[in-house]
Amino acid sequence: MKVKHLFAKIHLWMGLITFPIVFFVCITGTIIVFADEIIELSAGKHRYVKEVRDEKVAIETILDNLKREYPNRRIPSYMVAYRAPERSIRFNSYDPQKGLRMIYVDPYSGKILKDDGTINFFYVTAHLHSSFMWHGPGEYIVDISIIVFIILLITGLILWWPKTWSKKHLKGAFTIKWNVSFKRLNHNFHSVFGFYTLALALILGLTGLIIAFKPLAATTTDLLGGNSKTPWEATYPSFQPEIKDNYPINKIIEKTLNQFTDKDQLQIFTYFLSRESGIIPVKATKNVNLKSTTELDFIVFNRYTGEKLDIGDEAVLTEQIKNLFWTLHMGSWGLLGKIITFIGGLVISLMPLTGFYIWWQKHKASKRAKAKFSTIN
């Protein structure tokens, strides 16, 4: 009982110190869960072209057109191409004044269909989630709070653990009595739903730590069979500035779709065209999400010859492991995963608030008791 009392003190004071931060990080993370679906809805009809033709405009020409249309923006860091011929292609683009944008383009005519800023809301929310938009100090505050959050989960489980596994104690541990006072209902909610969301909270917390701390990410990647040192990058072809023309990206898209016949979308990292690099990396996937992809395959092409580079299975596995961290953290393992993560995220967000309310009620009761004792004496 002394040990359990110690854990209760740890749970209480760590929770009190960090509850506003934990609440903010949890609720902003929950807001992002359905970002992909909302961005798709925002694009609306511009996700599709009006006419499917035999020939497509060169991606390089489209990139040049985007540069002329938006001269103050950076080169799109990536583009998404689709197997479905009626789909438009989309580029993410950063505007110094307007923030992150999604540009939808007709691949047959090269016409810009929509310049959509919906993604910027989630971009800002994601940075609030990870650092309060305060690069450096904000990241450390969030990261330390995540560690505290994981300690709270472990101590919370110890405190929740039934005294005995009798029917009476099990019922109290796993069910909520609704016809009680709000104070008691709040306590039951914190305890019971805290247990039911424990596994999800641990997954979100641990993957958040892995993403935040590069040494931890590297160690975890290596333990899962990848290689965080990425030795294959040393074999990549070097940048050749004397070669002015790259291998056509449309042909790279065609090659990749032909190789991965089960994949519907390609994420092509176009920012490599502005780097001193001799490669074009491509992710073949079922679905490109904000920070992850579904059923990922990874392929790298020679920028000048279009040759597929032999990077080995270890390189592909490493990318899949990195993608797994984000998939688990964002809940993007299908619609069910997003629903579970969203609902669970809302409940987890309430844990700091219900915990604070429990302490506040006890604090007020203690003050009343002291005042009454003082009056009697």
**Is 341 a domain residue?**
no
**Is 27 a domain residue?**
no
**Is 97 a domain residue?**
yes
Q: Residue 199 corresponds to which tokens in the numbers above?
A: 């596994």
d(CA 168, CA 162): 10
d(CA 9, CA 339): 34
Which residue, 125, 148, 182, sits at the end of a domain? 125
pTM reported for the whole predicted model: 0.91
pLDDT in tens, 90-114: 999 999 999 999 999 999 999 999 9
Which residue, 330, 347, 367, sits at the end of a domain? 330
**Is 193 a domain residue?**
no
Distance of CA 7 to the CA centre of its chain: 31
3-state secondary structure of 137: helix
**Is 137 a domain residue?**
no
Q: Residue 43 is part of which domain span?
A: 35-125
| Mean pLDDT of the region 264-270 | 96
Instruction: Give the DSSP letter of residue 45.
Output: G
**Is 312 a domain residue?**
yes
d(CA 241, CA 230): 25
Q: Identify the CA nearest to 207 among candidates 10, 7, 29, 28.
A: 29
User: In the chain, how many domains are there?
Assistant: 2
pLDDT in tens, 137-192: 999 999 999 999 999 999 999 999 888 777 877 887 889 888 899 999 999 999 99
Q: What counts of helices (H) and strands (E) characterise the chain?
A: 12, 9
pLDDT in tens, 48-94: 999 999 999 999 999 999 999 999 998 899 999 999 999 999 999 99
Polymer length of the chain: 377
